[in-house]
């Protein structure tokens, strides 16, 4: 998809995240020359594309495209691609004539599709080619700015060269803080309550044969607390719960039941991803068990990428390349988020921390 300006978002699902949005926009400010490359990273479902788009909402000269493996062939991955785009926009002959090149040099927001991280695509090093081509067009040639949205878990597996040569800025899109998550859930419940009241102040549920009243303030407060405790604050999971599952509920009991079900499904996905990761590495042996336990405890206790990737690989008796590739192959849920610039790792989510805690408990019983 190509557009002359950044596409909008569904206001009902939009979560204001001014800090990270402004951080992205600041690197591509109209008050400076073009030639920046920004990597927007984070866990799967953290809301990376939405934040990247809203950073340039209604700004002219923003071109957004979702990059799939089928469109990542030679015509895109050569310098002539950007020249052709600039020519199509009528900008090519004007680059040296304007006082502010950003008025004519576009901002490319490239959302790298999840299929881009398949084993075949990782082996062909397409991601690496994309990033180095973007570097040549931005920080080398000053033709445009690039904002590239990547999965933090899988991007590291697609980079084999020295990332320091890329000259990029990294903006990590983490989970919502508790306050933002509470605000989002309260708004969703307000919409749910309004839907109940739009029919009647008291609805009669023919199927269940019970009366359903709107929530009291205390009941709503408890529902919000339960949703965060069980699901965490990952954007896509809260969106699924609040806007896909809750609208069909008619009673407080149904809201509570659905919350438990959504959280349980997500937890099973996290455990399944962890088990697959373990099967891809020699961590199932007890050779480095003490080291593995120490590593996992550090990861579970930390909310940042302060544990280095070298410590991670060493704990599992493998190379860094094998470690990140195993982590990338557990699509769509990954055990670890990896900082591309700092080369650190952290647990992908609250749910993954729980899966790791289960593993720690199992290993502790061995001793």
- Is pLDDT larger for residue 226 or for residue 110? 226
Confidence of residue 239 (pLDDT cuts 50, 70, 90): very high
Question: Residue 323 pLDDT > 90, yes or no?
Answer: no
pLDDT (tens digit per residue) in 259-295: 999 999 999 999 999 999 999 886 555 667 888 899 9
Query: Which 3 state secondary structure label does DSSP give 62?
Result: strand
- Give the per-residue pLDDT at 99: 42
pLDDT at residue 30, rounded to an integer: 56
DSSP for 246-274, written as a single string? GGG--SHHHHHHHHHHHHHHHHHHHHHHH
Domain regions of the chain by residue span: 18-173, 178-270, 282-365
Q: What is the CATH code of the structural domain delimited by 18-173?
A: 3.40.50.300
What's 78's DSSP letter? S
Q: Which residue in this structure is represented by tokens 């909008």? A: 8
DSSP 140-176: IT-S-EEEEE--HHHHGGG--S-GGGG--EEEEE-PP
**Same topology for domains 18-173 and 282-365, yes or no?**
no
Residues with Cβ within 8 Å of 194's Cβ and at least 6 positions away in sequence, in order, are none
Averaged pLDDT, 74-82: 45
The fold adopted by the segment(s) 282-365 is Arc Repressor Mutant, subunit A (1.10.10)
């Amino acid at each position: 998809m190509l557009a002359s300006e950044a596409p909008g978002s569904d206001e009902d699902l939009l979560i204001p995240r001014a800090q990270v949005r402004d951080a992205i926009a600041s690197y591509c400010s109209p008050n400076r020359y073009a030639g920046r490359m920004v990597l927007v990273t984070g866990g799967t479902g953290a809301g990376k594309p939405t934040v990247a788009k809203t950073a340039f909402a209604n700004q002219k000269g923003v071109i957004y495209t979702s990059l799939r493996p089928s469109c990542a062939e030679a015509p895109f991955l050569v310098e002539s691609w950007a020249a052709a785009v600039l020519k199509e926009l009528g900008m090519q002959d004007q680059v040296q004539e304007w006082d502010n090149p950003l008025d004519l040099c576009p901002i490319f927001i490239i959302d790298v599709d999840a299929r881009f991280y398949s084993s075949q695509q990782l082996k062909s090093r397409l991601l690496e080619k994309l990033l180095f081509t973007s570097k040549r067009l931005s920080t080398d040639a000053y033709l445009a700015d690039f904002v590239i949205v990547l999965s933090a878990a899988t991007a590291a597996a697609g980079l084999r060269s020295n990332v320091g040569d890329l000259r990029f800025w990294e903006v990590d899109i983490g989970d919502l803080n508790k306050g933002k998550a509470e605000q989002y859930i309260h708004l969703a419940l307000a919409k749910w309550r309004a839907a109940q009241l739009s029919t009647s102040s008291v609805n009669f549920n023919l199927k269940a044969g019970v009366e359903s009243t709107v929530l009291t303030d205390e009941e709503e407060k408890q529902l919000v607390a339960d949703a965060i405790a069980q699901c965490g604050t990952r954007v896509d999971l809260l969106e699924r719960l609040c806007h896909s599952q809750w609208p069909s509920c008619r009673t407080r009991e149904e809201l509570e039941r659905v919350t438990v079900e959504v959280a349980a499904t997500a937890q099973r996905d996290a455990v399944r991803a962890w088990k697959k990761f373990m099967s891809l590495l020699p961590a199932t042996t007890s050779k480095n068990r003490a080291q593995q336990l120490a590593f996992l405890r550090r990861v579970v206790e930390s909310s940042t990428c302060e544990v280095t990737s070298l410590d991670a690989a060493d704990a599992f008796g493998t190379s860094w390349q094998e470690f990140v590739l195993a982590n990338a192959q557990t699509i769509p849920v990954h055990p670890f988020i990896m900082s591309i610039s700092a080369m650190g790792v952290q647990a992908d989510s609250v749910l993954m921390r729980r899966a790791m805690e289960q593993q720690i408990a199992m290993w502790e019983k061995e001793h």
